[in-house]
A = this chain, B = another copy of it.
Amino acid sequence: MSGNGGLRIGIFVFDGAEELDVVGPFEVFAEWGSHSQVRPTVSTFSWDGSGVRLAKGLRILPAHGADDVGPLHVLVYPGGLGTRPLLAEPGHLEWLRQIRRQTPIMASVCTGALPLAAAGLLAGRPATTHHEHYDELTDLDPSVLVDTEARYVDDGDVVTSAGVSAGIDMALHLVERLETTAVARSVRNAIQHPPTALGAPGPGTGPGI
Contact = CB atoms under 8 A, between A and B. Distances in A.
Interface stretch (A1-9, A98-106, A117-125, A190-198): A190-198
A59 B61 contact: yes
A110 to B, nearest CB: 8
A45 interface: no
A61 B63 contact: no
Given A164-B192, A194-B196, A196-B196, A31 B56 contact: yes
Given A163-B192, A191-B165, A24 B30 contact: no
Contact of A165 (B30, B61, B192): B192
Contacts of A140: none
Interface string A159-177: 0001111101000000000
A51 interface: yes
Nearest to A168: B165
A173 B26 CA distance: 24
Contact count band on A? 35 or more
Interface in A146-165: 151, 162-165
A27 B19 CA distance: 6
A40 to B, nearest CB: 12
Nearest to A164: B191
A146 to B, nearest CB: 15
A110 B60 CA distance: 22
A85 interface: no
Given A27-B56, A131-B192, A194-B196, 5 more contacts: A20-B191, A44-B58, A51-B61, A165-B191, A165-B193
